[in-house]
Homo-oligomer: A and B are copies of this chain.
Amino acid sequence: MQPPHCGPHAATGLTALFAPRGVAVVGASRSPGKLGAALARSLGGFAASGGHLALVNGRDAGMHATVSAAAQAGPVDLAMICVPAPACADVLADAARAGAGAAVVCGGGFAEAGGPGIGFQDAVAAVVARTGIRLLGPNTSGFLAPHAGLTASFVPGVAQVRPGRVAVVAASGGVNHALAFLLAEAGHGVSLAVGIGNGVDVSAPDVLDHLAADPHTGAVALHVESVADGPRLVAAVRRLTARTPVVALVVGRHDVAAFAASHTGALATSWRTTRAALAQAGAVLVDDERELVDAVGALSVTRARPAADPGVGVVTAQAGPGLLLLDDLRGRRARVPELGAATRSTLGTLLPPLTYQANPVDTGRPGPELGRVLRAVAADPQVDLVAGYALHEPDAVDLVAAAAEGRDPDVPVVLGVGGTGDAVVASRRALLDAGVAVAADPRGVAAAVGALLADARAQARPVPAGPGQRVPTGIGGAHDEDRAKALLGRLGIATPPRRVCAGRAAAHAALADLGGRVAVKILDAAVRHKTEVGGVHLGITDAAGLDAALDRLGTGRHLVEAMAAPGVDLVVGARRDPVFGPVVLLGLGGTTAEALADVAIRPAPVGAGEAAAMVAELAGRALLDGWRGGPALDPAELGTVVARLGDLLAANPGLDEIEINPLRLTADGLVALDAVVVPASAVPPSEEADDAHPDQ
């Protein structure tokens, strides 16, 4: 147990919360089903290891009447408040008066419940603001600090969660506990596990900052439901990932808004944008709580060296599970390179000639040579980490010894161990203690490998700097297509030759001047969707066709523009997210891609190299790679376009959005065929929502 109030956490002000000398349970109860009774039981271990535990209940003569009274008997740094919502503000004020530095309000019935709960939450917040006491909750089931012997939770089983290297920072108290239990069942211990609840005071960024200085924490599991302050969360994750990997699970991929609002408030930004912002800050993103456990468990014991495109060596003692593993790794786009000649030569001396040795390496039934096989694969210059699977067959091979023998300190190993029973559990735990990530099945191995790869890539990514190029500033006001394209021209983005024409004669002159096939469009900044109002006529080659088009377009200014070569259409843009600020978006053009919401997002400004990497996230990326003889994308060229748009938005508060739709990939490169620039606050929110790129 750490000495109170002088540990490394003092700077973040959460020492009283996570390392108190004494704890008062307010609303303690003798009735076993009550929260206060459960909490007092949970804290028995804290009392037994020397902490001061005071039970407070004004209606029970055998307990202290108030926190102030309890503080007479010993130090009370932390008040665990288990009284109904209307009474919490007064108790909190009493705790602050008594010298408690922190409190947890466990119960619900506050803002998440609406109605009078909003007032109760305001009252609690007012005490925090007045007294400076740090408050976790309300509406949380508390936290665990196993290294300090502290189980500040009313869920009884959590005392069985052993101290370890994984920290949990969960939006929800229930998820915090669920994750702590899943980690325990997977063989991992916990350094700190916190449920934020309503987050009136202590928020996820506070806890992340606290963990950056925590010597026990090897990796952090972050569960996100909604984000109050995007830039603050991103900054905290970025600071933390510089030293400690963070794995994030973001809720809300699908429409869960109605229930979520009843829980902790509506989701203020999109699931995709939240994930993109966390990834850009260095976090590893996962899709569900099982993969969260696989990922954070692996990263808590090992981490791959930074690499832009790490290679995986696969070693399996059974071909069937190895095939499941390979299939899963391919689905995660892991690179499984063919092993080099030297490696294969070494493997040839270790393995029977009939096994597959190219990568995956199938050892056949494993024997004592497994350690040397692992070492040979790890030594291959193409291999940055090793994924393995073996059934637990102690008579054939000691997996712990083999992993130790096969270990290259620079090349992490993830080993799936199939089996059941105590000997298998002990074996997995011994592997973890030796710094080998473990899983019970091929899926778990693949998930852990995916996390190590994502972390290695994130570490290799340059820290985003400011805009890479100077961009125009002071941009604002209405932009028709010509003005929007002129702006693109200033950014170095190609557009087709065009002429602005105020009358029929000018249009005919433009047709003659441009030659070939032209498009004729209305030119009016107020019309954002020209095609939908019949404002676009394509493929005009002669005067008659032009006249027919102009007849239909009516009077006003027109844009006559050379038709671009055929190709593949993209959509790129930059806009302001209400929570995270400027972001860039990239998707394929056309209704199918739009209906599939096949889009990649990054916070802006973004470097051109990072923007180029967005292409790899598109499900339909094969279309950009010379599909059926079509043009092939130069990702660097696209990355530059996307980065410039992000730079522009970041540098121009007068702009809300800029979108190029379509940006056509042709044999001669990228050409912007249409562009829309939206000045700040020019579009009412409702129209914006209807019109949004499918980032739902």
Segment among A415-423, A571-579, A607-615 that sits at the interface with chain B = A415-423
C-alpha spacing A585/B161, complex, angstroms: 51
Size of chain A's interface in residues, with CB distance under 8 A? 103
A156-B393, A392-B157, A395-B156 known; A443-B288 Cβ under 8 A = yes
Is A33 an interface position by the 8 A CB rule? yes
Shortest CB distance A600–B (Å):
15
C-alpha spacing A362/B109, complex, angstroms: 13
Q: A181 touching B393 by the CB < 8 A rule?
A: no
Q: B323 touching A251 by the CB < 8 A rule?
A: yes
Is A424 an interface position by the 8 A CB rule? yes
Q: Which residues of B contact A364 (CB under 8 A)?
A: 108
Q: Find the B residue at minimum CB distance from A593.
A: B592
Q: Find the B residue at minimum CB distance from A320.
A: B172
Instruction: Specify which of B35, B155, B420 is in contact with A185 (CB 8 Å cutoff).
Output: B420
Q: A182 touching B619 by the CB < 8 A rule?
A: no
Q: A259 touching B326 by the CB < 8 A rule?
A: yes
C-alpha spacing A155/B622, complex, angstroms: 44
Contact digits for A146-188, partner B, Cβ 8 Å, 1 yes 0 no:
0000000011110011000000001111111110011011000
C-alpha spacing A37/B356, complex, angstroms: 26
Q: B172 touching A327 by the CB < 8 A rule?
A: no
C-alpha spacing A50/B317, complex, angstroms: 34
Instruction: Specify which of B391, B418, B627 is in contact with A595 (CB 8 Å cutoff).
Output: B627
Is A3 an interface position by the 8 A CB rule? no
Q: B108 touching A354 by the CB < 8 A rule?
A: yes
Q: B319 touching A172 by the CB < 8 A rule?
A: yes
For residues 36 through 52 of chain A, which have their beta carbon under 8 Å from a beta carbon of chain B? 37-38
Instruction: Specify which of B182, B251, B423, B590 is in contact with A440 (CB 8 Å cutoff).
Output: B182
Q: Which residues of B contact A35 (CB under 8 A)?
A: 365
Q: A327 touching B253 by the CB < 8 A rule?
A: yes
Question: How many copies altogether?
Answer: 2
Q: B177 touching A418 by the CB < 8 A rule?
A: yes
Is A371 an interface position by the 8 A CB rule? no
Q: Which residues of B contact A178 (CB under 8 A)?
A: 318, 320-321, 391, 418, 441-442
Q: Which residues of B contact A130 (CB under 8 A)?
A: none
Is A462 an interface position by the 8 A CB rule? no
Q: B595 touching A174 by the CB < 8 A rule?
A: no
Q: A354 touching B109 by the CB < 8 A rule?
A: yes
Shortest CB distance A429–B (Å):
14
Is A551 an interface position by the 8 A CB rule? no
C-alpha spacing A35/B393, complex, angstroms: 11
For residues 446 through 482 of chain A, which have their beta carbon under 8 Å from a beta carbon of chain B? none
Q: Which residues of B contact A61 (CB under 8 A)?
A: none
Is A685 an interface position by the 8 A CB rule? no
Q: Find the B residue at minimum CB distance from A288.
A: B443
Q: Which residues of B contact A421 (CB under 8 A)?
A: 157, 160
Instruction: Specify which of B360, B419, B590 is in contact with A181 (CB 8 Å cutoff).
Output: B419
Instruction: Specify which of B320, B328, B418 is in contact with A288 (CB 8 Å cutoff).
Output: B328
Is A255 an interface position by the 8 A CB rule? yes
Q: A324 touching B251 by the CB < 8 A rule?
A: yes
C-alpha spacing A173/B421, complex, angstroms: 20
Q: B362 touching A262 by the CB < 8 A rule?
A: yes
Is A199 an interface position by the 8 A CB rule? no
- The interface of chain A, by Cβ under 8 A from chain B, is 32-33, 35, 37-38, 108-109, 112-115, 117, 141, 154-157, 160-161, 170-178, 181-182, 184-185, 195, 223, 225, 251-256, 258-260, 262-264, 288-290, 317-324, 326-328, 330-331, 354, 356, 358, 360, 362, 364-365, 367, 391-396, 418-421, 423-424, 440-444, 568, 588, 590-593, 595-596, 598, 619-620, 622-623, 627-628
17 contacts between A and B (CB under 8 A): A32-B395, A115-B354, A141-B318, A157-B423, A160-B421, A161-B420, A177-B418, A178-B318, A178-B442, A182-B441, A223-B320, A225-B320, A259-B360, A289-B442, A289-B443, A290-B443, A591-B627
Known pairs A253-B330, A263-B319; list 19 more (Cβ under 8 Å): A33-B395, A157-B391, A157-B421, A157-B423, A173-B318, A173-B320, A174-B320, A177-B418, A178-B320, A185-B420, A225-B323, A251-B324, A254-B327, A290-B290, A290-B444, A568-B591, A588-B592, A596-B619, A596-B620
